[in-house]
Amino acid sequence: MNAFLALLKRDIRLSLKEGGTIGIALGFNLIVVTILPLGIGPDQNLLNQIAPGVLWVTLLLSLLLSLDRLFLTDHEEGTLEQMFHGPLPLELVVVAKALAHWLTVGVPLSLMTPALGLLMNLSTEQFGILTLAALIGTPALSFLGAIGAALTLGLKRGGLLLPLLILPFFIPTLIFGVSTTTGYLFPAGNYDSALALLAAISLSSIVLAPFPTAWALRFNMN
């Protein structure tokens, strides 16, 4: 447990110290949501209707931009190879790194989303459920994205291949994230069921994703 916490703290500290990954993700999210209303026009009702989908798509794409660095820096520095022979099983190494990614990228993006909702004329009543859904759904994106980051590790154009591999697996999170936000305002909307399914996807990803990720890392390092 001490080794796991040490690795988690190390990755969080390095991510905050470098700042580039977080800055790119937050900047991309802000720019896309700011530009989109200019292209759609001043129709406030239309913006309100499409806001949940737009915010979730930009959140997903922003988080995707940072995934290619999940293992790459340690691989280039030789640290990843040392982790193979360390006290932690490789699966727990994956959990620590994916969790650190979610804490340093997924959480800031989730907390930023309601503020961006103002630009999309999103109802303030949806801010709370939007933030909650984003915080519950983004762990799945970090852990599923770790699989793609491991599969493309060491490839010259791995950053281009990663979205093609991972985006299809993000679709369930996108669907239930949007359903949670939109269903909250309608009496007949089953937002609680969508939120439960969103949580189930994240929990399943946390439990299952480290195993194929560790296998992909072993394959690429041999």
Query: Residue 76's pLDDT band (boundaries 50, 70, 90)?
Result: confident
Instruction: Provide mean pLDDT across the span 162-167.
Output: 84
CA distances from 33 to 83, 145, 182, 199, 209 (A): 39, 23, 18, 26, 30
How far apart are the C-alpha atoms of 222 and 220, rounded to whole Å? Answer: 6
Query: Residue 157's pLDDT band (boundaries 50, 70, 90)?
Result: low
Query: Residue 158's pLDDT band (boundaries 50, 70, 90)?
Result: low
CA-closest candidate to residue 99, choices 145, 136, 142: 142
Instruction: Provide mean pLDDT across the span 87-103.
Output: 91
How far apart are the C-alpha atoms of 16 and 99, rounded to whole Å? Answer: 14
Least confident segment among 42-51, 83-92, 152-161: 152-161
Residue type, 20: G
Asked whether the CA dihedral 119, 125, 128, 129 is positive or negative, the reply is negative
Structure pTM?
0.90
* Confidence (pLDDT) at 138: 94
CA 96, chain centre distance (Å): 15
More confident of the two residues 188 and 64: 64
Domain span at residue 115 reads 2-221
Task: Count structural domains, the chain.
Answer: 1
Residue 36 has pLDDT above 70, yes or no: yes
* Confidence (pLDDT) at 19: 66
Instruction: Provide mean pLDDT across the span 214-221.
Output: 86
Residue 136 has pLDDT above 90, yes or no: yes
CA distances from 210 to 92, 94, 215 (A): 7, 6, 9
More confident of the two residues 153 and 42: 153
Residue 222 has pLDDT above 90, yes or no: no
